[in-house]
Amino acid sequence: MDDTYVDKGLENVVAAETRLSSIDGEAGELVIGGFPLAELAANATFEETVFLLWNDRLPTADELDDLRDDLREHRAISDETRNLLREAADRGQSAMDALRMGAASATLARTDGESPERDALVAVAQLPTAAATYWRYRTGEEPLDPRSDLGHAANYLYMLTGEEPSDAATRGLETYLNTVVDHGLNASTFAARAIVSTESDVVSAVTGAVGSLKGPLHGGAPGPVLDMLFDVRDTGDPEGYVEETLDAGERLMGFGHRVYRVRDPRAEVLSAAAERFYADDGDEAFFEFAREFEETAVDVLAERRPDLTLQTNVEFYTAVLLNGIGVPRDLFTPTFGVARVGGWTAHCLEQLEDNRIVRPRARYVGETGRTWTPVENR
């Protein structure tokens, strides 16, 4: 009998050493590249955060300019990718299906050679273009070429809306991208590291990670959070909604997390970012309603489920913030991917520094001792 310990979900298995992020679920702390999340997310540009993850330090001014130039140079997608995204939109494929297709074809137009570092650059640069191109086709509009005079976050919003975003919207998105860029060895990041550990290419690893993120158990809840908030705002009965949801045995979207036993530190950062945005450039009444709903939900959850610690998670204020700055609801999860590709690529590069193929074991629980029976005798 095989008495090997089985940890389903690998929750307690340490499969890698990383310098990229550290999570303390009990204390509610997240460190990105050595920086407390709140400090990095609210101050850095996304380009600075990506450089930090790739190089383990912040860039100098010249290095930051060079990275921005490199990203701008690689933002454009190939005609073949554009046609693929048009077809996906015409056939009604989901936004995450389209993002997976865009990721997989990111190197079709490669003209500058292949290396893990170059593939990482291409993936980070092109995922926003792929998401925006798909969305423009889906809404019956022609896609927009990337603008070289805009930073990474501002350009994404421009390609979605056709309008140059406000400073408040750009800062709001910048903070969001930084907040969710990396989060330990989550499902999509593990998928990316496992793929690249075979010495496959970084673009293949990113494509696999997008496939993992597509699953509703990983990246699919911010949209339903927004739907919930709109429904409750219309009924005007937050407490009644929470009670009815719990009575039906359903999950209350935006609350509870597998790792955190206190309020998700990302929710803390994004709620502050949302408050700043809505004060400058948004519907303050909606933000105040969302905050009141959060308070009500946390109180009811504590009363109804005192055995669990069900606090606000990142998805709640992701929905509030992204809705405010103009990201369509159906692009919430793809926009998560636009951010997380910075972490995925950093993990790929880190894996390759001291690579060992990811090869866990499985315990066999099937039948033994079977004998073959010809088909005519079965």
Q: What is the domain-level CATH number for residue 202?
A: 1.10.580.10
For residues 321 and 341, state if they share a domain: no
Return the structure tokens found at 100.
């997976």
Residue 6 maps to a domain: no
Structural domain of 254: 222-325
Residues in the chain, total: 378
Percent of the chain with pLDDT strictly greater than 70: 98
pLDDT band at 2; cut points 50, 70, 90: low
Co-location of 53 and 132 in the same domain:
yes
Write the single-letter amino acid at 246.
L
Q: Around Cβ 288, how many Cβ atoms within 10 Å?
A: 12
Q: Return d(Cα 340, Cα 346) in angstroms, integer.
A: 10
| Residue 159: inside a domain | yes
3-17, 114-128, 212-226: lowest mean pLDDT where? Answer: 3-17
Do 86 and 198 fall into the same domain? yes
Dist. CA 68–CA 47, nearest whole Å: 7
What CATH number is given to the structural domain containing 300?
A: 1.10.230.10
Residue 184 lies inside a defined structural domain of this protein = yes
Domain boundary among 305, 325, 345: 325
Q: Is the pLDDT of residue 113 over 70?
A: no
How confident is the model at residue 337, as a pLDDT? 97
Mean pLDDT on 350-365: 92
CA triple 218-224-226, angle to 5 deg: 125
Considering the domain boundaries, does residue 9 fall inside one? no
> For residue 252, what pLDDT is reported?
92
Q: Phi then psi for 180, rounded to 5 degrees?
A: -110, 15
The four Cα atoms 17, 361, 2, 258 give a dihedral, to 10 degrees, of 60
pLDDT band at residue 112 under the 50/70/90 scheme: low
Secondary-structure percent of the chain, ordered helix, strand, coil, rounded to 5: 60, 5, 35
Q: What angle do CA 346, 349, 354 make, to 5 degrees?
A: 130
Give a yes or no: residue 8 inside a domain.
Answer: no
d(C-alpha 215, C-alpha 217), whole Å: 5
Q: Using one digit for the tens of pLDDT, what is the confidence trace for 323-337?
A: 999 999 999 999 999
Q: Which helix (H) or strand (E) holds 296?
A: helix 284-304
- Examine the pLDDT at 288 and tell me if it is beyond 90: yes
317 and 181, same domain (yes or no): no
Are 267 and 169 part of one and the same domain?
no
CA 330 to chain centre: 13
Q: How far apart are the C-alpha atoms of 69 and 131, rounded to whole Å? A: 21
- Per residue in 149-185, pLDDT (tens digit) is 999 999 999 999 999 999 999 999 999 999 999 999 9
Q: Supply angle C-alpha 144, 147, 152, rounded to 5.
A: 105
DSSP state of 2: -
Residues 93 and 194 in one domain: yes
Q: Is residue 7 part of a domain?
A: no
Contact assessment for residue 202 and residue 110, using Cβ atoms and an 8 Å cutoff: no
Output the average pLDDT for the chain: 94
Cα 342–chain centre separation? 10
Residue 338 shares a structural domain with residue 316: no
> Exposure string (b/e) for 55-65, b if CB count within 10 Å is 16 or more?
eeebbeeeeee
Q: How confident is the model at residue 225 (pLDDT cuts 50, 70, 90)?
A: very high
Active site residues: 257, 315
Mean pLDDT of 294-302: 95
- One domain for residues 84 and 172: yes
Q: With contact defined as beta carbons under 8 Å apart, do 218 and 313 qualify?
A: no
The total number of structural domains that make up the chain: 2
Please check the confidence at residue 3 and state whether its pLDDT lies above 70: no
Inside any domain, residue 32: yes
Same domain, 190 and 232: no
Residue 64 shares a structural domain with residue 202: yes
Residue 108 maps to a domain? yes
Q: Do residues 47 and 182 both lie within one domain?
A: yes
What integer pLDDT is reported at residue 111 of this predicted model?
61
pLDDT of residue 110: 66
Checking if the pLDDT of 272 tops 60, the result is yes
**Rounded Cα distance, 139 and 255, in Å:** 32
Q: Which range, 54-68, 109-123, 213-227, is most confident?
A: 54-68
pLDDT at 353: 96
Percentage, residues of the chain above pLDDT 90? 84
**Do both 72 and 161 map to the same domain?**
yes
Nearest Cα to 2, choosing from 377, 252, 361? 361
pTM, to two decimals: 0.94
Quick one: which of 315, 224, 219 has its CA closest to 264? 315
The mean pLDDT value for 177-206 works out to 96
300 token code pair: 């009811």
